[in-house]
Amino acid sequence: MTVTLNQATGPAYTRIYSYGAARGENAVPNEDLIGPIDSSDEWIRQRTGIVTRTRAVAGTSAIDLAADAAAEAVTRSGVPADKIDAVIVATVSNPKQTPSVSAIVADRIGANPAAAYDVNAACAGFAYAVAQADALIRAGAAHYAVVVGAEKLSDIVDPTDRSISFLLGDGAGAVVIGPSDFPGIGPTVWGSDGSKADAVGMNHTLVEFRDGQAPWPTLRQEGPTVFRWAVWEMVKVARKALEEAGVEPGDLAAFVPHQANMRIIDEFAKQLKLPESVVIGRDIETTGNTSAASIPLATHRLLEEHPELSGGLALQIGFGAGLVFGAQVVVLP
């Protein structure tokens, strides 16, 4: 070999520049959902902490929500849209299996010809996508990246399913990630456990629906299995993310777990022994569980309500269907 290839290199550090958010247009109270599942407002509040959840109207898709959130994040970042060279969308609710949500979002926000692809890691998708954007930039494969978590879960929910129907909401949260003079995104602790693939996911395939063998596929879960796994196993992942980042619980300004269930969030905080000074994301109360969108939506709300958190450290962790998980510590913009 007579020629030595050039190999890309990038900056040593990255950080999150800004957040953007979009929620479904309708606030749906518990009372609107209890009939088909023979439940009550009190039962849902006690079991999940949810009072209302945001759901999009029929004409709004996950693509629309993603584009709106991404546009806000780009505007707030101060980075020109045409300087964005990677768009990553974490979602399980693309209206079509192809093309990707990300390619359409890149076009809508003026980021063509950015590299664009979707990530399907369910409720851990945002943490996965942040890890990838961080790695792409530090490897020199991108300079600025938009990461979006976007879902329209109301399209794939069975209103009679008592295990999950009342949990789910629609929305999108986005960030812009770019080079930094200081470490802004800690090491990612991520992984999977496919032995529990049946614990949460779609109940049928599109082929079964096409062939008349099953109704329209919808999400379902084994609630107790997911709860135990989240409370006991994911706390270990969260601790590992803190350790990898060189951070103690008392160093955190905020804790933003996937908004799966208020009981899980509260148990998380207890197990991690978080001091009272740590602000905890509890967006689920009025937004519901928005899967890949829940972490950026909750963080966006925290920063709106607590601007003093800017510059502080936040531990974020996502976990869900797969089963998959991902966590990292980030510096809040």
For 155, the domain range is: 13-180
165 and 222 part of one domain: no
20 and 167 part of one domain: yes
Q: What is the pLDDT of residue 1?
A: 64
Whole-model pTM: value is: 0.96
Q: What is the DSSP string of 52-121?
A: EEEE--TT--HHHHHHHHHHHHHHHHT--GGG--EEEEE-S--SSSSS-HHHHHHHHTT-TT-EEEEE--
175 and 75 part of one domain: yes
In a domain, 3, yes or no: no
Last residue of a domain, one of 126, 154, 180: 180
In a domain, 2, yes or no: no
Tokens of 236: 């270990």
In a domain, 130, yes or no: yes
In a domain, 7, yes or no: no
What are the backbone dihedrals phi and psi of residue 41, each rounded to the nearest 5 degrees, phi first? -60, -45
Going by their DSSP bridges, the two strands 13-23 and 170-180 should be labelled as antiparallel
Contacts of 333 (CB under 8 A, 6+ apart): 15, 16, 17, 18, 19, 303, 310
136 and 79 part of one domain: yes
Other beta carbons less than 10 A from residue 276's beta carbon: 6
149 and 202 part of one domain: no
Last residue of a domain, one of 180, 204, 225: 180
Q: What is the pLDDT of residue 13?
A: 99
In a domain, 1, yes or no: no
In a domain, 203, yes or no: yes
250 and 137 part of one domain: no
Report the distance separating Cα 125 and Cα 138, nearest Å: 20
Give per-residue pLDDT as tens, 218-234: 889 988 898 889 888 99
Instruction: State the catalytic residues.
Output: 123, 258, 289
135 and 233 part of one domain: no
| Residue (of 91, 94, 74) closest to 145 by Cα position | 74
160 and 269 part of one domain: no
Report the distance separating Cα 63 and Cα 89, nearest Å: 10
Report the distance separating Cα 313 and Cα 164, nearest Å: 32
Last residue of a domain, one of 156, 180, 204: 180
Which CATH number does the domain housing residue 112 bear?
3.40.47.10
282 and 200 part of one domain: yes
115 and 143 part of one domain: yes
What residue type is assigned to position 64 of the chain? D
Q: What is the pLDDT of residue 163?
A: 86
- For tokens 């209206």, the residue is 95
What residue type is assigned to position 159 of the chain? P
Domain count within the chain: 2
Give the CA-trace dihedral at 232, 233, 235, 241, to 10 degrees: 170
201 and 172 part of one domain: no
First to last CA, the chain: 47
In a domain, 222, yes or no: yes
| Residue (of 140, 166, 141, 137) closest to 154 by Cα position | 166
212 and 121 part of one domain: no
Asked if 110 and 82 count as a contact pair (C-beta separation under 8 A), the reply is yes
Where the chain has pLDDT below 70, the residues are 1
In a domain, 74, yes or no: yes
